Chains A and B, each alone.
Chain A
Amino acid sequence: MRGKRWAAAAVALTLGLAGCAGDGARASGESTLRWAVTLPAHWDPVVSGSGAQFRILSLAYASLTEIDENGRAVPALAESWDYNDKGDQVTFHLRPGLTFTDGEPLNAAAVKAYLERAKTQKNSALFGDLTSIESVTARGELDVVVDLTQVDYQIPLLLGERVAQITSPKAARDPAALDRSPVGAGPFVVTENVPGSHVYLKKNPDYWDAANIHIDRVELLPAPDNATVVSGLKTGVYDFANLTPSQVKAAEAAGLDVVFQPGFNASNISVNVNKEPFTNPAVVDAVRHATNRQEFVDKITFGYGKPTDQPFPPEYVAYDKESADRYPFDPEKAKRLLAEAGYAPGQIKLDLVIAGPAYATAAEIVQSQLAAVGIDVTIKVDPNWEKPFFGKELTLSLYGTTGRESPVQTLTAHFGPNGPLNLSSPYQPDGFEEAVSLARRTPLDSPDYATNLQAATRAGLASRALVFTYSQPNIFVKSPRVSDLKPIPGQIHWTGLRVEP
Chain B
Amino acid sequence: MTGHLRRAAGVLVRSVAIFVPVFLVASFVTFALRSLSGLSPANLQLGESATPEAVARIEHQWGLDRPFLTQYLDWFGDLLAGDLGQSWYNGAEISRLLAEGAVISLSVAGLALLIGVVFGFGFGVLAALRRTTWVDRAITGGMTVISVMPSFVVGIALVAVFAVGLGWFPSAGYAPTERGFGVWLAHITLPALALSFDTVSDVARQLRAGLVAAYRENYVTGAIVRGLSPRRVFFRHVLRNGIGPALAVLGLKFPNLLGGAVVTEAIFGMPGFGQFAAGSAQRGDVPAVQGVLVVSIVLVVVFNLVVNVVLARVAPASARGV
Measured CB to CB, the residues of A under 8 A from B are 1-4, 6-7, 10, 14-15, 17-25, 41, 176, 180, 194-197, 221-225, 228-229, 231-232, 234-238, 381, 383-384, 387-388, 391, 393
Q: Are A17 and B186 in contact (CB under 8 A)?
A: yes
21 contacts between A and B (CB under 8 A): A1-B125, A3-B126, A4-B122, A15-B168, A21-B169, A21-B182, A24-B183, A176-B91, A196-B279, A197-B100, A222-B269, A224-B172, A229-B172, A231-B159, A232-B269, A234-B171, A235-B163, A237-B175, A238-B173, A383-B282, A387-B47
Closest to B44 in A: A384
Chain B residues whose C-beta falls within 8 Å of the C-beta of A228 in the assembled complex: 159, 171-172, 267-269
Give the residue of B97, B101, B172, B180 whose beta carbon is less than 8 angstroms from that of A20: B180
Least CB distance from B52 to A in Å reads 16
Chain B residues whose C-beta falls within 8 Å of the C-beta of A176 in the assembled complex: 91
Q: Are A6 and B283 in contact (CB under 8 A)?
A: no
Least CB distance from A51 to B in Å reads 19
Chain B residues whose C-beta falls within 8 Å of the C-beta of A384 in the assembled complex: 43-44, 47, 283-284
Chain B residues whose C-beta falls within 8 Å of the C-beta of A234 in the assembled complex: 164, 167, 171
Q: Are B173 and A221 in contact (CB under 8 A)?
A: yes
Q: Are B47 and A25 in contact (CB under 8 A)?
A: no
Q: Are B183 and A22 in contact (CB under 8 A)?
A: yes
Q: Are A23 and B167 in contact (CB under 8 A)?
A: no
- Given the known inter-chain contacts A3-B126, A4-B126, A231-B163, please indicate yes or no for A224 contacting B269, CB distance below 8 A: yes
Q: Are A1 and B180 in contact (CB under 8 A)?
A: no
**Cα separation A7 to B118 with both chains bound (whole Å):** 7
- The number of residue pairs between A and B whose CB atoms lie closer than 8 Å in the complex comes to 150
Measured CB to CB, the residues of B under 8 A from A are 43-44, 46-49, 90-92, 96-97, 100-101, 115, 118-119, 121-126, 129, 159, 163-164, 167-173, 175, 179-183, 185-187, 189, 266-269, 271, 276, 279, 282-284
**Cα separation A234 to B165 with both chains bound (whole Å):** 11
Closest to B127 in A: A3
Q: Are A25 and B170 in contact (CB under 8 A)?
A: no
**Cα separation A14 to B118 with both chains bound (whole Å):** 14
Q: Are A231 and B171 in contact (CB under 8 A)?
A: yes
**Cα separation A102 to B196 with both chains bound (whole Å):** 49
- Given the known inter-chain contacts A25-B180, A25-B183, A391-B47, please indicate yes or no for A196 contacting B276, CB distance below 8 A: yes
Closest to B90 in A: A195
**Cα separation A56 to B50 with both chains bound (whole Å):** 30
Q: Are A21 and B163 in contact (CB under 8 A)?
A: no
- Given the known inter-chain contacts A10-B118, A235-B167, A391-B48, please indicate yes or no for A195 contacting B175, CB distance below 8 A: no
Q: Are B284 and A235 in contact (CB under 8 A)?
A: no
Chain A residues whose C-beta falls within 8 Å of the C-beta of B96 in the assembled complex: 194
Chain A residues whose C-beta falls within 8 Å of the C-beta of B283 in the assembled complex: 383-384
Chain B residues whose C-beta falls within 8 Å of the C-beta of A20 in the assembled complex: 180-183, 186
Q: Are A24 and B163 in contact (CB under 8 A)?
A: no
> Which of the listed residues A3, A22, A393 has the most CB atoms from chain B within 10 Å of its own CB?
A3
**Cα separation A477 to B92 with both chains bound (whole Å):** 32
Least CB distance from B30 to A in Å reads 21
Closest to B162 in A: A18
Closest to A1 in B: B126
Q: Are B172 and A2 in contact (CB under 8 A)?
A: no
Closest to A237 in B: B173
Least CB distance from A433 to B in Å reads 26
Chain A residues whose C-beta falls within 8 Å of the C-beta of B185 in the assembled complex: 14, 17-18
Least CB distance from A366 to B in Å reads 22
